Amino acid sequence: MTLLLRTNDGKESSSNDVFMDAVHLLNKGNIIAIKGVGGFHLACYARNEQVVEELRKRKKRKDKPFALMAKDIDAIKLLVYKDIIVATFGDMMRVKGTETSLERSGSKDRKPIIVYSPFDVIEIAKNNRDKMVVFLAVGFETTASAIASLVKHAEEKSINNINVMTSIRLMPPILEKVLQQHNGRLHGIICPGHVATIMGEEYFEFLPEKYRIASVISGFDAPDILGAIYLLVQSKCGSNEPELKNIYRKCVSINGNEKAKNLMEEVFKVDDGLWRGIGSVPDSALVLKEQYAKYDAVKNFNLSSWSEETSNACSCSDILMGKKEPKDCNLFGTICNPVNPYGPCMVSSEGACSIYYEYRR
């Protein structure tokens, strides 16, 4: 059987994948006509109110129902929620996406809601039973257990109007990527104390063992960071074997928080993850397991995976990989600053460019 796709001026598409082309057209708000034995079947994206309105106008069906096409009844349920509430952590609001940031998107009364903990999402969902609450769940191992706990709670209490769009990343794979590319430029690693609090000291043992690089698990206070730098310099000056030191013992044990790790294990599985500006890193992301798929916004809303596209003007990837300093970026301090961040490293006060801006300018 041959499939053809024609544009509205009658031209035939030369693409090899007319199915995907049709999907793109639908996502972009087009109406497509699919020819069958009994005539034409018109289709549009049901979540796009404008195109549904246009189809109603063309078909002269002011309020007569259209048929919804979806893969199963759960997907249909999602489509009939009157509205969607987006909830996320404050840092995410200012991150610039392909077109704009969450902060600048949406109308005044439909702004995403900032949450301070994943558990705030439960309250939002309970207070808005007729709406679907989509939580943009970002973070590292630190927040993963709390997000896992949210999903489990929703399951146990049958709260069905919560979906989670996970963008949880894992530290070891990205550290390995950095270390594989550093060409001797790095002399030591300060390991994040919050990740180690959950995962334990043993989580970073691969650094001296596999990469023979001195490493220190540290907190985030100035004395902690200074202490970590001191130990790394001392290790570089001495002739001892590189080792992993832990100066954040008040929070970090050898094995970490077993309860949190078990929760993560129960709800998530490891998958390849896209890192903005860096690309795909194998086994660097946590995604929901099949048994929790009904909470997975990416699957339920048929969202395409994150785009690998990134602006060439932003040098975040090189900064993250240790190849450049923030001042080497042409946008630093001009187009990109903490009030109007252009790239992700300027968004949060913990970002490399933001810190550099605050203390070096």
Nearest approach in angstroms of CB 277 to ligand SF4 is 8
> Which of residues 240 and 312 has its CB atom nearest to ligand SF4 in the complex?
312
> Which of residues 18 and 335 has its CB atom nearest to ligand SF4 in the complex?
335
Token code pair at residue 195: 């990740």
> Which of residues 86 and 353 has its CB atom nearest to ligand SF4 in the complex?
353
Interface residue list for ligand SF4 (CB under 6 A):
314-316, 319, 326, 329, 331-332, 336, 342-343, 345-346, 353
Nearest approach in angstroms of CB 318 to ligand SF4 is 8
Place of tokens 């003007």: 313
Nearest approach in angstroms of CB 355 to ligand SF4 is 11
Token code pair at residue 143: 């927040």
**Sign of the alpha-carbon torsion through 265, 266, 268, 271:** positive
Q: Which of 263, 278, 79, 88 is nearest to 166 (CA)?
A: 88
Nearest approach in angstroms of CB 343 to ligand SF4 is 2
> Which of residues 83 and 328 has its CB atom nearest to ligand SF4 in the complex?
328
Nearest approach in angstroms of CB 200 to ligand SF4 is 32
Query: What CA–CA distance (Å, rounded) separates 277 from 269?
Result: 24
Q: What's at 357, amino acid-wise?
A: Y
Decide: helix, strand or coil at residue 200: coil
Nearest approach in angstroms of CB 143 to ligand SF4 is 22
> Which of residues 80 and 313 has its CB atom nearest to ligand SF4 in the complex?
313
162-169 and 214-218 strand pairing: unpaired
Please give the residue whose beta carbon sits closest to ligand SF4 in the complex. Answer: 343
Residue 9's CB: how many other CB atoms inside 10 A? 5
248 and 218 Cβ atoms separated by less than 8 Å = yes
> Which of residues 6 and 327 has its CB atom nearest to ligand SF4 in the complex?
327
Token code pair at residue 336: 């990109």
Decide: helix, strand or coil at residue 329: coil
Query: What CA–CA distance (Å, rounded) separates 247 from 228?
Result: 7
> Which of residues 89 and 332 has its CB atom nearest to ligand SF4 in the complex?
332
> Which of residues 135 and 275 has its CB atom nearest to ligand SF4 in the complex?
275
DSSP 254: S
Nearest approach in angstroms of CB 348 to ligand SF4 is 11
Q: Which of 79, 84, 83 is nearest to 65 (CA)?
A: 79
Nearest approach in angstroms of CB 314 to ligand SF4 is 4
> Which of residues 137 and 329 has its CB atom nearest to ligand SF4 in the complex?
329
181's enclosing H/E stretch is helix 171-181
Beta bridge partners of 268: 288
Nearest approach in angstroms of CB 184 to ligand SF4 is 24
Query: What CA–CA distance (Å, rounded) separates 108 from 205?
Result: 48
> Virtual CA dihedral for 78, 302, 264, 85, nearest 10 degrees?
-50
DSSP 12: B
